[in-house]
Amino acid sequence: MTRLRRLLAATAAQAAREGYAALHDARHRRVDSRILVLRDRHGFATYNDDFLAWVRRRAPEVWPRFELRYHPRPVRDLAGVSLLVPWLQDPLRERFPQTFVAASALERRCEARGIGVVNPVANLSRAIKSTAAELIRQTGVRTPRMHRIADAGAFRRDHGGLALPFFIREDQRHGGPVILVTTADDLRAVSLSRFEHPVAVEFIDVRSGDGLYRKWRYVAVGDRGCNRHMVASERWIVHAGDRVLTPAILDEERAYVTSDDPNQDALQRARRALGLDVVAFDYSYDHDGRLVIWEPNPFPVLVARYNRDRADLQYQVPTIERLYRLLLDDLLERAARLPA
């Protein structure tokens, strides 16, 4: 019964959200130079809600230009639209083929009218971890060597050419299980069937002299970017939930998020190699001080609920504001490029 209540509540919330979007769009349908935001009703329908709420609060004069649509409801009228923003989970073609077909058709209609597209959905396939690692490596930046595990037996014999240690994770998903393999016994204990698209990834020890592992996040927005955070952890796999929050670490993170990223040129080369307009990069440094890009994410969580709720994380609010302003400015600039 509890599960049913949650399902009904989620359905009601989505219906309310779509009703609000329809009301908003009906009121402003005649507004020119509109920004058409496309989300999937059945997956991540609330993506970037916090950003949209910020736009309503901080830039009410441009909010009427945002038109919200939800796949699979078709978009019939493109009159007055000057930019398409498909906020759809990567990699779309591989994971959600029906949504990919519909979004691609909408993109073609937009392109025929000279309407720009942010993060064309076909290019989302380049963010698959193993694919992205190779594309970024070709720009001169170190990435972990990876091996797609297509033949489990062969991989158990030769490790795909990787030396121990390495770790195994999903190639096409963000999140999911991550298993460190340091010995042959470790590998024998791994159930590869728990992965949909397993990939073995070179383990690069990026532990700093103080014993902490650090991961930086840079969000590229066109040719500009914003330093989102620096997370330090005692664990080799660095998650924000495990972050160390000492005064020294907080000062280090504040210094990062209030300055220009020292790797911006390299990160922008990586962005262009992937053919993406907006993408987050997680990176660290190896023991030789070389930049190591772990992975790109064209569908990043820009702010989690705990960023707003936790008192000890309120120092991040100015960074979120800067990122939102940069993203809004970029969308407005792209929307202004529609040929007359």
Per residue in 243-255, pLDDT tens? 999 999 999 999 9
- Picking from 179, 204, 164, the residue whose alpha carbon sits closest to that of residue 287 is 204
- In tens, the pLDDT along 287-313 reads 999 999 999 999 999 987 767 777 878
Residues 135, 269: one domain?
Answer: yes
Q: Report the 10 Å Cβ neighbour count for 305.
A: 9
Are 133 and 249 members of one domain?
A: yes
* CB-based contact 202:145 (threshold 8 Å): yes
Last residue of a domain, one of 202, 229, 250: 202
Sequence-separated contacts (24+) of 305-310 with Cβ below 8 Å: 308/50
Output DSSP code: residue 53.
Answer: H
- Whole-angstrom Cα distance, residue 254 to residue 300? 21
pLDDT for the residue numbered 335: 96
Q: Are residues 120 and 7 in the same domain?
A: yes
Contact 116, 338 (CB under 8 A): yes
How confident is the model over 37-70, as pLDDT tens digits?
999 998 899 999 999 999 999 999 999 999 999 9
Give the span between the Cα atoms of 134 and 121, in whole angstroms.
20
Same domain? 191 vs 104: no
- At 16 the pLDDT is 45
Q: What share of the chain is helix, strand, coil (3-state, %, to 5)?
A: 45, 20, 35
Helix axes 129-137, 264-274, angle to 10 degrees: 120
pLDDT at 305: 73
Residue 142 is given by DSSP the state B
The sign one gets for the Cα dihedral 308, 314, 316, 322 is positive
- The residues near 146 (Cβ < 8 Å, ≥ 6 apart) are 129, 130, 133, 171, 199, 200, 201, 202
Considering the domain architecture, whether residues 228 and 167 belong to the same structural domain is answered as: no
Residues 75 and 177 in one domain: no
Residue 8 structure tokens: 């009904």
Residue 335 belongs to a domain: no
163 three-state secondary structure: coil
Q: How many CB atoms lie within 10 A of CB 33?
A: 14
Residue 233 inside a domain? The answer is yes
- The residues that bridge with 4 in the sheet, in sequence order, are none
In which order are the strands placed within the sheet that holds 166-170?
146-148, 198-202, 166-170, 179-181
Residue ranges of the chain with per-residue pLDDT less than 50:
1, 3-5, 7-9, 11-12, 15-16, 19, 22-23, 26-28, 340
Number of domains in the chain: 3
d(CA 263, CA 59): 31
Q: CATH number of the domain at 226, please.
A: 3.30.470.20
Q: What gap in Å lies between CA 188 and CA 126, rounded to an integer?
A: 31
Whether 103 and 119 map to the same domain: the answer is yes
At residue 4, the pLDDT reads 41
Check whether residue 8 and residue 102 sit in a common domain. Answer: yes
In the numeric block, which tokens belong to residue 175?
């999140």
Can you give the pLDDT at residue 14? 52
Cis amide prior to 339 (ω within 30 degrees): no
**Range(s) of the domain holding residue 265:** 128-140+212-300
CA 160 → CA 42, 147, 305, distances in Å? 36, 6, 39
Residue 80 sits in the same domain as residue 198: no
